[in-house]
Each structure stands twice: as C-alpha cells, then as structure tokens.
C-alpha cells in the first residue's frame, strides 16, 4: 500500500475522533473531568490536522469530510452525552431533548460549513464553531462540576442555559473571529487579534486553567454584542439613507 503525505493530516483527524470515543467511555463511567480533557485533546488534534494539511500541501475533499465526521463525534456526541450524564438525565424526556442539541445543531452547522467552504470569509466564522462550543462546555464542567457531588446551586440551571445558547449560536449568523495563524503575514494583517490571543493564552496558563471558562464566555458574549451593534448601526444607516432619499424626492416635486 502506497503511503502519501495526505495520510499525515488524516492521522491527526483519526486521533481527534479516537479522543472523542475515549471521552464517551469516560462519561459512561462518570469520570467527567477526564472526559472533558479528552475533548480538549481532540480539539488540539483538530487544529493540528489543518496545520499539517497546509505544511504537507495535502488538502483534499476526503480530509474535509473525515474532519466533519470526527467533529460530530468529538464535539457533538461526546459533549451531548456528557451534559446528559452529568445533570440532564434527571429531567427525563426534556433532558434527552436538551442534551441532544449540541450533536444535532453541531451536525447542521458542519453540513452548512462544508457546502460554503469555497468563498467563505477566512477572517470570521459564521456562527460559533463546534469545537469552541464543546470546549466551553468542558470549561464549565471543570469550573462547576465537583467529583462526588456534581453540580450544585445555580450551576445546574446554568448548564441548561449554556447548552441551549451555545447550540443555537452554532447555527446562527453571528460572526466570530477566527484564531490568526502564527505567521508573519497573519501577524501583520491582524496584530490586535494576535495580541489578544497571546494575552488570553498567558492568562489561562498563569491561572492554571481556572479562568478558561470566563475568557470563553467573554469571547462568546463579545460576538453577540458586536452583532447587535452592527445590526443597529446598519438599521440606522438604512433609515438615514431613506430619509435623505425622501428629502431629495420632495425637493424634486417642488
């Protein structure tokens, strides 16, 4: 069998889906923190397969499809099963429906992304990326789930709200900044993005991961606020243009 360089990125994608499977196994045994770590490891492999594809210049349609299938498992099925076993199982049928949202909406998002792959905006994601949704859920589990006593106080309701909001954001039209590649060209093109990402990484490392969830929440909220401001600005501009047009027409009539 001939081994080509296209195998290299596919290997990282395979490791991604394998980590997703290991996460599901750990959730089944109620090892939620370990399961969350496997999802984060899957996200690292997911980012590396793209890097390897660029380095080896071996991007292919097969790689795109394999990546999407892996993402459905690692960032859709695994976090859905995690939130169900961690808390939502107590709500019976409603718990099943809410827990299914990440995998269902994640699959829809990936299908939409694949058909829009050509010509999409490389500076922004259209909707929240599925890996970021999964990592945010993991960060919440790290932050609020206690091994042995689970989610307490408001954190249970907070998990429900988080799952619903993140799921709908994945299929929304809200734009989220892509993470810039650490190259000279990207740093020159997006210096503020590079500085922000670097500061964020340093904060996470210094805090030993305790500030991961607040930082991700800030990133998600910023995207929502920016979208609202942009929508209002666009509406006001449109209204102002219409008023100017009407004023011009009234002068012509006179």
Residue 130: predicted pLDDT: 94
Give yes or no for a contact between 83 and 139, defined as CB atoms under 8 angstroms apart.
no
pTM beyond 0.75, yes or no:
yes
The predicted structure's pLDDT at residue 240: 65
Domains of the chain, first to last: 7-178 (1.20.120.1760)
| Sequential DSSP letters for 112-149 | HHHHT-TT--TTEEES--HHHHHHHHHHHHHHHPBTTT
What confidence score (pLDDT) does residue 253 get?
54
pLDDT of 238? 65
The interaxial angle of helices 155-170 and 212-253, nearest 10 deg, is 50
pLDDT tens, N- to C-terminus, the chain (254 residues): 455 666 777 888 999 999 999 999 999 999 999 999 999 999 999 988 777 777 776 667 777 788 889 999 999 999 999 999 999 999 999 999 999 999 999 999 998 888 875 545 567 788 899 999 999 999 999 999 887 778 888 899 999 999 999 999 999 989 888 876 666 676 676 677 778 888 888 988 898 888 899 999 999 999 999 989 888 887 777 666 666 666 665 666 55
């Amino acid at each position: 069998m001939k081994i080509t360089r296209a195998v290299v990125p596919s290997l990282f994608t395979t490791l991604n889906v394998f980590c997703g499977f290991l996460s599901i196994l750990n959730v089944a045994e109620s090892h939620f923190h370990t399961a969350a770590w496997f999802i984060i490891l899957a996200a690292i492999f997911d980012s590396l397969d793209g890097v390897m594809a660029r380095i080896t210049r071996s991007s292919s349609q097969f790689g795109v499809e394999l990546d999407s299938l892996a993402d459905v498992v690692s960032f859709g099925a695994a976090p859905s099963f995690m939130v169900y076993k961690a808390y939502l199982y107590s709500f019976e049928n409603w718990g099943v429906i809410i827990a299914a949202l990440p995998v269902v909406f994640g699959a829809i998002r990936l299908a939409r992304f694949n058909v829009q792959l050509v010509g999409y905006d490389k500076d922004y994601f259209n909707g929240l990326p599925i890996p970021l949704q999964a990592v945010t859920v993991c960060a919440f589990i790290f932050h609020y789930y206690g091994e042995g006593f689970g989610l307490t106080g408001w954190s249970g309701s907070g998990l429900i709200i988080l799952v619903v909001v993140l799921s709908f954001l994945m299929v929304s039209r809200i734009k989220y900044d892509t993470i810039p590649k650490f190259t000279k060209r990207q740093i020159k093109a997006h210096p503020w993005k590079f500085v922000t990402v670097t500061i964020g990484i340093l904060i996470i490392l210094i805090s030993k991961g305790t500030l991961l969830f607040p930082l991700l929440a800030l990133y998600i909220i910023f995207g929502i606020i920016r979208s609202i401001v942009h929508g209002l600005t666009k509406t006001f501009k449109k209204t102002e243009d219409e008023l100017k047009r009407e004023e011009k027409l009234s002068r012509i009539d006179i």
